Amino acid sequence: MYCNLLQCSHFSNTSVIAVSGNEVVGFISAYLIPERANTLFVWQVAVGSQARGQGLATRMLQHILARPYCHDICYLETTITESNKASWALFNGLSSKLNTELHSSVMFDRIEHLDDAHDTEMLVSIGPFNATKEINHENI
Ligand SMILES: CC(C)(COP(=O)(O)OP(=O)(O)OC[C@H]1O[C@@H](n2cnc3c(N)ncnc32)[C@H](O)[C@@H]1OP(=O)(O)O)[C@@H](O)C(=O)NCCC(=O)NCCS
pLDDT, position 66? 96
Fold of 2-139: Aminopeptidase (3.40.630)
Give pLDDT tens digits for 72-95.
Answer: 999 999 999 999 999 999 999 999
pLDDT, position 78? 98
pLDDT, position 17? 97
pLDDT, position 71? 96
pLDDT, position 140? 81
For residue 57 and ligand 1, the question of a CB distance below 6 A is answered with yes
For residue 47 and ligand 1, the question of a CB distance below 6 A is answered with yes
For residue 89 and ligand 1, the question of a CB distance below 6 A is answered with yes
For residue 54 and ligand 1, the question of a CB distance below 6 A is answered with yes
The pTM for the full model equals: 0.96
For residue 10, report the distance from its CA to the centre of ligand 1, in Å.
27
Whole-number CA gyration radius for the chain: 15
Identify whether the C-beta of residue 98 lies closer than 8 Å to the C-beta of residue 129: yes
Residue 126, judged by CB atoms within 10 A of its CB (0-12, 13-18, 19+), counts as buried
pLDDT in tens, the chain (140 residues): 999 999 999 999 999 999 999 999 999 999 999 999 999 999 999 999 999 999 999 999 999 999 999 999 999 999 999 999 999 999 999 999 999 999 999 999 999 999 999 999 999 999 999 998 999 888 78
pLDDT, position 57? 98
For residue 87 and ligand 1, the question of a CB distance below 6 A is answered with yes
Domain boundaries, the chain: 2-139
- Atom 48 of ligand 1: nearest residue by CA position: 44
- Distance between CA 106 and CA 20 in Å, rounded? 36
